[in-house]
Amino acid sequence: MAFNEEELFQLEWIKNHHMEDKDKALDAAKADVPIEKKVFKGRRVRNPASWGTPLPEDEIDLHGMTADEAAEAVERRMSQMTIAGLSVLRVIHGGGNPAYGNVKKIIDRKVRSEWRNRVVFYRTEIENAGSSILKIGKPAPKTKK
């Protein structure tokens, strides 16, 4: 079979330039290294200290917001969650940046005062001090003894 001038040029280029099949090299590398996979059956393993903490159904990230903006955003999200039928919110507030005001402190203050009738559970997460778990709902009626 005769090649034209362009095909001859391409064949010469291929001979002079090394080409490797990267997929083939990756497959060979994977075959050499045994892969150990951890398979978790059922629920994710949680820290025993957090067993009393409900699992979040939604989350809101307050990074970059001022304290007032953060409080308004959390209040809006709580209203949206109530409408949607959800009750457990993870509030990601971070450790506190003096330039923005301490977002965690304002959220803590709002939970103790304005939102005390709406929030039945509020606690900083055990595994992450930069976020808190907030549960919305009606408090259980107290029984008389």
Q: Output the 3-class SS for the chain.
A: CCCCHHHHHHHHHHHHCCCCCHHHHHHHHHHHCCCCCCCCCCCCCCCHHHCCCCCCCEEEECCCCCHHHHHHHHHHHHHHHHHHCCCEEEEECCCCECCCECHHHHHHHHHHCCCCCCEEEEEECCCCCCEEEEEECCCCCCCCC
Q: How confident is the model at residue 139 (pLDDT cuts 50, 70, 90)?
A: low
Give the start-to-end residue ranges of the domains of the chain: 54-136
- Across 11-25, 49-63, 69-83, 130-144, which has the greatest mean pLDDT? 69-83
Q: Looking at the predicted structure, is the pLDDT value of residue 143 above 90? A: no
pLDDT of residue 52: 77
pLDDT of residue 21: 76
Question: Roughly how many angstroms between the first and final C-alpha of the chain, as a whole number?
Answer: 102
Report pTM: 0.60
**Percent with pLDDT over 90 in the chain:** 27
The predicted model gives 27-40 an average pLDDT of 62
Fold of 54-136: Ribosomal Protein S8; Chain: A, domain 1 (3.30.1370)
pLDDT of residue 35: 52
Q: How confident is the model at residue 101 (pLDDT cuts 50, 70, 90)?
A: low
Compare 102 and 110 and report the one with higher pLDDT. Answer: 110
Tens of pLDDT, residue by residue over 44-98, are 666 666 677 888 889 999 988 888 899 999 999 999 998 989 999 999 988 755 5
CA-nearest of 66, 64, 89 to 76 is 89
The predicted model gives 100-119 an average pLDDT of 86
